[in-house]
Chains A and B, each alone.
Chain A
Amino acid sequence: MKLHEALNIDIAEVNREIEHLLTGDKDVPAGSPLATSVLELIASGGKRLRPLMVIVGSRFGRKRTRRRTLQLAAAAEFIHAASLVHDDIIDDAKLRRGSPALHTKTGVLSAVHIGNYMSARVIELLSKLAKNKNRYVHDLSAVATAQLCIGEYQQMEHAYDYDITMEEYLEKSLNKTALLMATCLRVGALSAESTEETAGALYAFGEALGIAFQIQDDLLDFTQSSETLGKPAGSDLRSGQVTLPVIYALQDPRLAAHIRRIGPHSSEADVEAALAAISGSDALARTEETSRRYLDQAADIAKQLSSYSAYADLETLIAYFAGRDR
């Protein structure tokens, strides 16, 4: 069963709202290159995790605010998609979800501004929703987006840094991935007028869940085929990202010698050998175990919200994250 089905969310309705962010913009002519690019990007897939989290968050509120929640859910996906467009330029990635990355089709300058358009469109929408008492909606486009950038700076600072500490790795993962997920849950809850306490608990839950998600993403880079990933397997190590499996492998002196030799100009054979050595060690099992600990932490936080009927949705999210394809 797909996640949106397990959560009883009408994904077609969510997708329509995401598309409407573009098609409802009278400043963008239908059929224009910008419209086509954004619609292709939206249609290229993705699990809509962030919109689903906004909607789950809203189920902890005291009011039903369906329209506003859907708009916020769509905004969350736009923010995520815009960040992926810029990420692909930063990472020089040629593929996204198995298709050519946007900048390879439009050119870099145009793609940067298409991503900017998506962010600016969200701000335009959120500004209308954000009367003084609703300032939390800007957490999506201000706080969460700034933290995404901080995470990117941290990643850049630690490229090929084989002395990165666990704390530094976790902080980067929090900024790059977990805070947006946490913000989606919190904003969804507040949009439906939850208490601050409940919104805070959902935020903490989202942080733990998001870190587990990032750790599993690190793992997938070792365990999945290029075809399944939609990008070359082992991309993280090639691009100098020292992820959790690498951090654990570095604790074995024999492996560390192999890994530390990998730099921006390493041969493909050296990278492949390091990848194979890491995969053959206990680093992947330890990474899996760490991810599991964060999921357990998320489950403990979720228990604070067990009096809500929507508590079952948090359990569904944990179960889904625990069973991601490997």
Chain B
Amino acid sequence: MNRQLIGDTIRLLQAELSPIAGIQLTLSPGEGEDLLPVMEGFNLEYSRKLHLMGIYIILTQAARYHMECTANHQGLIRSVLDGDYLYSFYLQFAIKYRELDLVVHLAPFIKQQQIRRSNGDYAELNLTAEIGQFLNAESKNTANRKKC
């Protein structure tokens, strides 16, 4: 089931990425799997899990491409461009699947990551935890609305 979700997400993303970009999404072993138990804690439809996993994969891959951008990197041009394209694709994907609230939640987090990296701090940030926090807040809001 878990592998299927990740596989289905990759297929969905590949179908929606512009062919001219020629980006082949690849995940490191185990990557994305830490988001699965986080999502299991909430009562989410399979399609919603696909979209959240999609956003996780797009952002992870975009950040990775841009971390490759050093002056001596052979594929520098592609890495700059692929990272740029994926960051804009992230927004298109989120808008299409009505995840704008998540975009609002992640915006300061992604911005702070760029600030740190521009300043030479390359520590990995915990995107899974941010998505978990978002789902938690969303769940509480939904519960509160039901009470009212």
B112 close to chain A: CB less than 8 A = yes
Tell me the B58-76 residues at the A interface (CB within 8 Å): 66-67, 69-71, 76
Chain A residues, CB < 8 A from B83 = 112, 116
**Tally of contact residues, B, Cβ under 8 A:** 37
**Shortest beta-carbon distance from A264 to chain B in Å:** 13
Asked whether, in the complex, the Cβ of A120 is within 8 Å of the Cβ of B110, the reply is yes
Asked whether, in the complex, the Cβ of A124 is within 8 Å of the Cβ of B108, the reply is yes
Asked whether, in the complex, the Cβ of A124 is within 8 Å of the Cβ of B84, the reply is no
* The one of A89, A141, A148 that contacts B76, using a Cβ cutoff of 8 Å: A89
Asked whether, in the complex, the Cβ of B70 is within 8 Å of the Cβ of A108, the reply is yes
A9 close to chain B: CB less than 8 A = no
Q: A27-B115, A34-B115 in contact; A146/B92 too (CB < 8 A)? A: yes
Main secondary structure of the interface of A (DSSP, over half): helix
A127 close to chain B: CB less than 8 A = yes
**Shortest beta-carbon distance from A209 to chain B in Å:** 23
**Shortest beta-carbon distance from B128 to chain A in Å:** 19
Residue of A nearest to B84 (CB): A149
Chain A residues, CB < 8 A from B67 = 109
Chain A residues, CB < 8 A from B77 = 90, 156
Tell me the B75-104 residues at the A interface (CB within 8 Å): 76-77, 80-81, 83-85, 87-89, 91-92, 95, 100, 103-104
Chain A residues, CB < 8 A from B114 = 113-114, 116-117, 120
**Shortest beta-carbon distance from A85 to chain B in Å:** 10
Residues of B participating in the A interface, judged by any CB pair closer than 8 Å: 18, 20-22, 66-67, 69-71, 76-77, 80-81, 83-85, 87-89, 91-92, 95, 100, 103-104, 107-108, 110-115, 117-120
Known: A142-B92, A149-B21. 11 other contacts (CB 8 A): A27-B111, A32-B119, A86-B80, A106-B118, A109-B67, A109-B69, A116-B83, A117-B118, A128-B104, A152-B84, A156-B77
